[in-house]
Every structure is written in structure tokens, then in C-alpha cells.
């Protein structure tokens, strides 16, 4: 590993062949300084990142690529969206979209090793692929990045160039709990069995669910990601101290980052492990809790598109729904508000107009209540979705549309 200045790194990058593909740490571990140097040095390149945050380069000459769209890429005319389960993204990079450069945000070295910290995810696969192709691995070394154990520990000899920064890590914007989100959280928490293994997606509802579980004991975490709510469970004594907290990336506040730093309880594994449905299914009482934008009377969920336009992507929802359903006493839960307050429309629709993200869940939950899906015939499923999940103002219209679709409804 050679530590260089911004100017020296820019000179290295400006000598690269035309239109390289760059894989960058995403979520809240974006290596912003390297990205700025790279963007100034390369007139044209392809940038691949998961859940990219606002501020990434988006200009003519930059092609944005991702299977999970974040706010930094959403609605960009230069976006290339690749539908893909998160567990298969490493294969996508190996077989279809091989990188020429991988840029990561890492800890400072300890005994010749650095850690990818809060963002392991697809990066080990990207690094292995780019090394095999003779490409570059460039690291942004930051003492604020926690040193986490697992698959994100990397020898400095695997890094070609590095720049040094001392910058605080970004944290998500706090969103206040509403009456709707609190009600959803309470309904979902009631479905979580004792000594469950939890996977929670991104958003306010999963955070509220975790708060509602603070009085439990013996819980475990096997998730693609976690945030501040998991630390709250640890403080409350709700987590099984004998079980590691397993995930692939994390984001939250400074207290969370301090807690995961050199914490042997936390294992940050590569996506191929955390999101493997077979490994997920081995976790006892695996309880998958994810959000959706819409559900329909066929119990199908849309978590990816708004008015036909891509909003996010599959993420890990498909992996965990399948894995949870095959786990002993496992269950897959989809949670969403029954009404979209800005658009003033029901989030329960007769039939999804666009692609389905996931289906055949155990339960669908809104602030109105809970619909049991697994083991019910199709008409019973539809009836429960209407009467237990849909907003009261939408129920009559949904019931009429459901009859036209062939459901035997009361």
C-alpha cells in the first residue's frame, strides 16, 4: 500500500484507459475524498455503488450503475438499474460488470491490516475480482471508521494506493416516530416469537419494532444491515450474549460506531453469506421484517417502484423472505402504512401494476392490523388484507375490485 496525496492519486487515475468501471463503498461509508479526486481526473467513467447517497458525481460522462438505487442516483437520467437480488450482486460483478477500480472507506491500519468497518457488503467480491483482473484497489483511511471483524478485514498489501483523511462518518437523518409507525411497530412486535433471530430492513418501521422488543430476552441478529435500534436492544439486555451480531453493513449515530469498533460480538460478513437463503434458513425462528411501497390482494409486495419508475430495488428482501419461510418456526413479515399521506392514496391496491418484489409472506401488517397470509386460501388472504391492512376509506372499492378479480369476498 502506497499512501499518496490527492494530487498524486489524481495523476495515477488520469493515466487510466477510457471509461473504467469504478465500484465504490455505498450507504454511509462513501469515500467522498477519493470520489472527488477521481471525478476530477476522469472525464468519463462508470460508477457502481449500492444505496448511493446525495452528493455522488452525476454529470455528463458519468454512468451510474446499481442494483439498489439510493437518493444519490434516484431519478438520474444517467442511471443504469440492474434488477438483482442482493445475494447475487457479487456474481453480477464477477460475470457481467467486472470492475477496473475499487474504492473503499477503511479504518487506519492495525498490524498491517485495515477494516472495511461499517460497509463490507459486496466489497470483498469486488476487490477479489479487480485484483484478478489487474485493476486498482484504492482506500480512504480514516481513524473515525470503526475496525470491525469478519470478512472486511483486509491486508494493506491488497491495497494499491491510499489517502488519509480524518472526517466524521455521516449519520442518517432522525425521523420522529408517528402514531402510524408506532402502531405498525406494535403489531409487528406481537408477531415476533420468543428467542427469535431478527432481520430488519431500512426505515422507521424497523426501528420502531426494535424499540417494542426491548423487554424480550434471547433475541439474535442475522441481517444484511443494522442501525441504532440493535444497540438499544443490547443495552436493554434483549440480545442473547452468546450469539454474535451478524450483518453486512451498518449505519447510525456516533454511539453505534463506537460500540462496533473492535467489538468481538459484531461480525460483518460478505453479502454472499448474510443473504444466502440457505444460511438464513438455518437460523432458528428467523423473523424477516421488511417494508413495502404497495401490496395487492394477491399478497404481493412492491418495494422497488413508484408509478413504474425505479425507486430502490430488490435489496435483500427476496433473500430473507425465502430464507425465513424455510427456517424452523420462521416467518416473513411485510409492514407498511395503509395510506400514503402525500399522494392521498391507499397503499393496498387490487393488483400491482408493476413488477413484484416479493410474495408469499407470513404476514402483512399496517397500522390498521395484521393479515395472516401463510396457510390461507387466496380469497381468505384477500379478505384479511382488505379488512385488517387496508385503510377504511379504501375497503369498499378494494372489495369490489377483488370480486372482479375472482376472489370470493363477503
Q: How many CB atoms lie within 10 A of CB 60?
A: 9
**Parallel, antiparallel, or unpaired for β 101-106 and 21-24?**
parallel
- For 114, the enclosing helix (H) or strand (E) is strand 113-115
CA atoms within 13 A on the CB side of 251: 20
DSSP secondary structure letters along 231-264: HHHHHHT-B-TTS-EEESEE---HHHHHHHTT-T
Q: Residues 224, 272, 367, 383: which is the catalytic one?
A: 224
Grid cell 438483482 in the structure block, residue: 84
Q: What are phi and psi of 207, to 5 degrees?
A: -65, -40
Per the DSSP assignment, residues forming a β-bridge with 163 are 140
Q: Rounded to an integer, what distance in angstroms lies between the CA atom of residue 243 and that of residue 65?
A: 36
**Closest to 197 (Cα-Cα) out of 222, 178, 180, 216:** 222
- Which residues lie closer than 8 Å to 179 by C-beta, 6 or more apart? 367
Is 128 noted as a catalytic residue in this protein? no
SS3 content of the chain, % helix, strand, coil (to 5): 30, 25, 45
Give the Å distances, CA to CA, from 12 to 111, 140, 266.
27, 15, 36
Residue 103 grid cell: 474504492
Q: How many CB atoms lie within 10 A of CB 103?
A: 27
Q: Return the active site residues.
A: 224
Amino acid at each position: 500500500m502506497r499512501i499518496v496525496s490527492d494530487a498524486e492519486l489524481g495523476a495515477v487515475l488520469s493515466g487510466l484507459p477510457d471509461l473504467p468501471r469504478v465500484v465504490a463503498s455505498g450507504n454511509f461509508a462513501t469515500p467522498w475524498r477519493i470520489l472527488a479526486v477521481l471525478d476530477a481526473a476522469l472525464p468519463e467513467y462508470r460508477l457502481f455503488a449500492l444505496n448511493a447517497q446525495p452528493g455522488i458525481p452525476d454529470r455528463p460522462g458519468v454512468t451510474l450503475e446499481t442494483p439498489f438505487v439510493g437518493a444519490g442516483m434516484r431519478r438520474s437520467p444517467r442511471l443504469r438499474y440492474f434488477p438483482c437480488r442482493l445475494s447475487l450482486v457479487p456474481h453480477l460483478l464477477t460475470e457481467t460488470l467486472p470492475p477496473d477500480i475499487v474504492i473503499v472507506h477503511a479504518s487506519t491500519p492495525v498490524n498491517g491490516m485495515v477494516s472495511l468497518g461499517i460497509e463490507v457488503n459486496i466489497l470483498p467480491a469486488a476487490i477479489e475480482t479487480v485484483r484478478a483482473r489487474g485493476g486498482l484497489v484504492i482506500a480512504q483511511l480514516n481513524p473515525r471508521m470503526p475496525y470491525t471483524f469478519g470478512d472486511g478485514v483486509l491486508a494493506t498489501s491488497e491495497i494499491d494506493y491510499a489517502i488519509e483523511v480524518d472526517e466524521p462518518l455521516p449519520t442518517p437523518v432522525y425521523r420522529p416516530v408517528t402514531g402510524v409507525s408506532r402502531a405498525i411497530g406494535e403489531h409487528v412486535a406481537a408477531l415476533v416469537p420468543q428467542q427469535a433471530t431478527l432481520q430488519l430492513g431500512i426505515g422507521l418501521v424497523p426501528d420502531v419494532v426494535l424499540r417494542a422488543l426491548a423487554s424480550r430476552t434471547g433475541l439474535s441478529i442475522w441481517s444484511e444491515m443494522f442501525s441504532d435500534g440493535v444497540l438499544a436492544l443490547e443495552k436493554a439486555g434483549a440480545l442473547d450474549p452468546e450469539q454474535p451480531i451478524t450483518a453486512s453493513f451498518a449505519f447510525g449515530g456516533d454511539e453505534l460506531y463506537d460500540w462496533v469498533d473492535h467489538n468481538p460480538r459484531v461480525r460483518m460478513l460478505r453479502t454472499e453469506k448474510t443473504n444466502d437463503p440457505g444460511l438464513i434458513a438455518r437460523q432458528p425462528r428467523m423473523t424477516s421484517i421488511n417494508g413495502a411501497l404497495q401490496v395487492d390482494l394477491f399478497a404481493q409486495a412492491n418495494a422497488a417502484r413508484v408509478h413504474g419508475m425505479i425507486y430502490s430495488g430488490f435489496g435483500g428482501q427476496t433473500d430473507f423472505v425465502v430464507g425465513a419461510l424455510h427456517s424452523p418456526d420462521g416467518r416473513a413479515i411485510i409492514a407498511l402504512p395503509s395510506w400514503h399521506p402525500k399522494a392521498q392514496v391507499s397503499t393496498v391496491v387490487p393488483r400491482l401494476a408493476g413488477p413484484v418484489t416479493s410474495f408469499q409472506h407470513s404476514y402483512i401488517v399496517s397500522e390498521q392490523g395484521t393479515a395472516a397470509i401463510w396457510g390461507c386460501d387466496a380469497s381468505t388472504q384477500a379478505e384479511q388484507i382488505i379488512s385488517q391492512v387496508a385503510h377504511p376509506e379504501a375497503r369498499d372499492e378494494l372489495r369490489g375490485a377483488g370480486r372482479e378479480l375472482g376472489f370470493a369476498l363477503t
